[in-house]
Chains A and B, each alone.
Chain A
Amino acid sequence: MDLQTYQSNDPIAWCPGCGNFGILTALKKALLNLDLPPKDVLLVSGIGQAAKLPHYIKSNCFNGLHGRALPAAAGAKIANPALTVIVTTGDGDCYGEGGNHFIHNIRRNVDITVIVHNNQIYGLTKGQASPTTDTGFTTNMQPNGVVLEPFHGVAVAIALGAGFVARGYSGHSDALSDLIVKGVRHRGFSLIEVLQPCVTFNHRNTYRWYSERLYRLEDEKDYDPRNKMRAVGKAFEWGDKIPEGVFYEEIKDDYAQKTGLADRPHLVDETVNAGEIFKELIDVFI
């Protein structure tokens, strides 16, 4: 296998220079690094520019409804654990439309990896504020500037008990690829938020803006991703300095382990002996 293994023949519909290209490359490299054949990977997405990504990679794809990628991904993983399930979603898809599923799938802790493309803007609907847009940012829909407080996905995920919470940057493709590898290897819900410029609609959070602010958590002296309170503090750091890397990591039982499902045959491989089951079920009704 090489990177060509993951080459899709579907033409890409993103704007030239879009941050999504960096994420696509990072994801392909991660899959290769993880030695995962396309048939064993399932990419699930909702709606938005990020959600188109599964078409541009050769792997299984379920491109569902806006905001609803997480429940579909959880259902697929529970039914067929042979699949490595990765969600590609955006700040609007995951934190806005699908906010309730973001909260509860962290609690559910099914073994899926969620990549949130965060460009702090709605691209596909042409430039309205997203849940992560900074206050004061003006758009056609918010001509007097955004007044809603931004949603801190990384902080929320840590607070809710996610076992792997990281942030990458689409301009740092190799580092992002490593984060994806770690996220997939982590057993349970993994969040990788990816900061990403929108070259068409967000002229504030540009490549230059990010490169002046980003620093690596692993370069910070004695930063320990097992320290939850420290991680929460870092998750709120936003402005002149913005951290990237693994914020928080904790080994914990995932959904399959907690429910005992991990010790049972995969649901998809089960055959049903209707007659035998029927006999047992009707006993209490006779």
Chain B
Amino acid sequence: MRSELMIRVTGEAGQGLKTIGNLLCKIFRRSGWNLFANQDYMSRIRGGNNFFQIRVSNKPVCCTREKCDLIVALDKDSVGIHRKDLNESGRMIADLQKFGIENDPQYIDIPLFDIAQKIGGNDIYINSVACGMISALAGVNFASVKKELEMTFARKGADIIEKNIHAAFSGYEKVNSQAKDCGFVLKEDPEKTGMLIDGNDAIGISAIVSGCKFYSGYPMTPSTGIMEFIARYADRFNIVVEQAEDEIAAVNMVIGASYAGVRSMTSTSGGGFALMTEALSLAGMTETPIVIVDAQRPGPATGFPTRTEQADIDFLINAGHGEFARAVLSPGTIEEAFYLTNKAFYLADKYQIPVLLMTDQHLADSYRNVDLFDISRINNEHFIISKEASVHVNNYKRYALTQTGISPRAIPSWIADVIYADSDEHTEEGHITEDADVRIQMVQKRFYKKMEGLQQEVEEPVAYKVDDADMILIGYGSTFGAINEVCRSETNLGFIHLPQVWPFPASRFQQLIKKGKKLLTVEGNAGGKLAKLIKMETCIEVNGSILRYDGRPINRDYLLSKLAEELKHGSSNLSK
């Protein structure tokens, strides 16, 4: 009996890996297990090699592992490519006869394609056959499989549902007769679970409940899921989702909509964000609240379109010409993605600034079972002059100077007066000026004063065992999953996770760092960018950095192996 299983389904693009992956996630969750699932896909529509992997456990899990217990290979190439990722007792299921591959004690030869053709007359049914097989090996009751198949194919009609159930049952039976004792049966110790969701959908839900009424974007992997999610509900909740001609148009539309009075957002990846930077500066200058999600992927330029990296952090903090206040939030989990999306709208609205939500492909596309989000934590306070009060507003100054740098914000057509907003340096009324004294006041308003306010509302760093452990791992964003799991299972390791990197929580961070601790940043980039930011903001120099920049996520096993190297050689090796 196992308390945990690492399962991977692999094949070509277009074979339906996402369908089977989602189906398996639902089956395991329905049966009460915890899971974490991610996808590894190539930037192509057909062919190549993709996989979907799921870590199933009787305890909550926050990341995947490198080695698998069970791999299902749906095409010939996958067998060779993934053989090395089987752990010692792992098994690979494949149609060896069809692929012309010699058997091996770790292989289970199943005529997947034969079964699929006999039952459905189409190779696509191999997915359901494989699904039945995995369920049988893990000891899942077939009733759960049947139920999820019925729900997944509900719209396709009775015949398709029947064939898929039949295909899955054949796989299920085949395992029970041919490979029953592989030792993969999961211990019956399921914990209660809340929702099964990925990062992009969590952001989409949060945007809608936060009152986002206008979304404009240009499709860019891995951010597109957010746009598609909101688009699905646009008619239902009276939201406009507009696909723009380019990212420049997207963000300028968002700024226009926000000026006119609605909460607005866009999402993109690094390349698209690069195109948005002039408008980022416009939002800073005109003091227009906007939310931009950067779902990072590896660059430079087009880079690895479908893979993960954390190399945009300094870019997001510094993007846009000129000086103005902004916040950069860096959620590490699906839950944080949900709550921080709401915080992004709150900060944008309150301070009338652009707020950047920095995720990455690993967070955007990974599924996990999470506790039901707590809707009572959503803060939808609006910082505008109400429609009722607007009627009496005369002699309005859009950029009136105040102690906090925040001017009362009115909505055009609501107020009796007019509103001038300008990208040129402007007076309190919003008219163009070249006056040096006005300039100084406006820079102080937009930059110093707003940054001061933002400092008071910085998201607290998440700290664990910073007093007791000798070595402290420091990270931001999606590396949190691996850091959290490793630190809680190994002795003498603590962590600090930063859900917000700008303004940097400098004083709180300094308090958390105790003398004599060994400090290592854990980052999905080559430059050790967090280490540099920490030094710049706190004068604290970390001892080294565990980095990954091959486009793959930092998972538990990767982190453990790097920590083992660290113990052997010291940190001098790590930053390269």
Contact = CB atoms under 8 A, between A and B. Distances in A.
B214 interface: yes
Contact of B420 (A61, A108, A268): A61
Interface in B210-251: 210-211, 213-214, 216, 233, 235-240, 242, 244-246, 248-250
Contact of A270 (B213, B236, B432): B213
A78 B214 contact: yes
A82 interface: yes
B238 A74 contact: no
B252 A274 contact: no
Contact of A71 (B256, B258, B422): B256
A141 interface: no
A64 B288 CA distance: 11
Nearest to A268: B261
Interface string A134-146: 0000000000000
Contacts of A47: 423
A147 B162 CA distance: 68
Contact of B421 (A63, A259, A278): A63
A41 to B, nearest CB: 8
A70 B387 CA distance: 27
A72 interface: yes
| Chain A interface main SS type | helix
Contacts of B249: 68, 70-71, 100-101, 104
Interface residues of B, number: 67
Contacts of A80: 260-262, 411-413
Contacts of B201: 285
A52 B432 contact: yes
A72 B255 contact: yes
Given A60-B419, A68-B279, A75 B373 contact: no
Given A267-B262, A278-B205, A285-B196, A39 B214 contact: no
A155 interface: no
A58 to B, nearest CB: 6
A282 B256 contact: no
A259 B254 CA distance: 18
A161 interface: no
A199 to B, nearest CB: 21
Interface string B399-436: 00000000000011111111111111000011110000
Contact of A274 (B210, B216, B246, B414): B210
Contacts of A63: 420-424, 432
A29 to B, nearest CB: 18
A73 B256 contact: yes
A42 B415 CA distance: 13
A65 B282 contact: yes
A82 B413 contact: yes
A58 B430 CA distance: 12
A73 B254 CA distance: 10
A79 B260 contact: yes
B248 A267 contact: no
Contacts of B454: none
A75 B418 contact: no
Question: What range describes how many residues of A lie at the interface?
Answer: 35 or more
B209 A274 contact: yes
Contacts of A73: 256
A78 B378 CA distance: 26
Interface string A41-74: 0101001000010110011111111001011111
Contacts of A44: 256
Interface string B249-290: 110111111111110100000000000001100100010000
A80 B211 CA distance: 15
A78 B242 contact: yes
B353 interface: no
Contact of B412 (A83, A265, A275, A280): A83
Contact of B255 (A59, A64, A260, A272): A64
Nearest to A56: B431
A251 interface: no
Interface string B198-210: 0001000100111
Contacts of A281: 205, 208-209, 233
Given A39-B415, A60-B418, A282-B373, A79 B214 contact: yes
Contacts of A267: 213-214, 238-240, 257, 262
Given A78-B242, A265-B238, A267-B262, A39 B286 contact: no
A78 B423 contact: no
Given A38-B418, A282-B195, A64 B423 contact: yes
A282 B264 CA distance: 22
Contacts of A62: 256, 259, 286, 421
Contacts of B208: 277, 281
A221 interface: no
A264 B236 CA distance: 11
Top 4 nearest A-B pairs (CB, nearest first) are: A75-B256, A72-B256, A75-B253, A75-B257
28 contacts: A39-B412, A39-B415, A39-B416, A60-B419, A60-B420, A61-B421, A62-B256, A71-B248, A71-B253, A72-B252, A72-B256, A74-B253, A75-B259, A76-B256, A76-B257, A76-B412, A79-B214, A79-B261, A80-B411, A100-B245, A267-B257, A269-B387, A270-B262, A272-B210, A274-B378, A278-B373, A281-B209, A282-B195
Given A55-B431, A71-B248, A282-B205, 16 more contacts: A10-B432, A42-B412, A52-B432, A61-B420, A63-B432, A71-B253, A76-B260, A78-B240, A79-B240, A80-B261, A80-B411, A104-B245, A261-B240, A268-B213, A277-B208, A285-B196
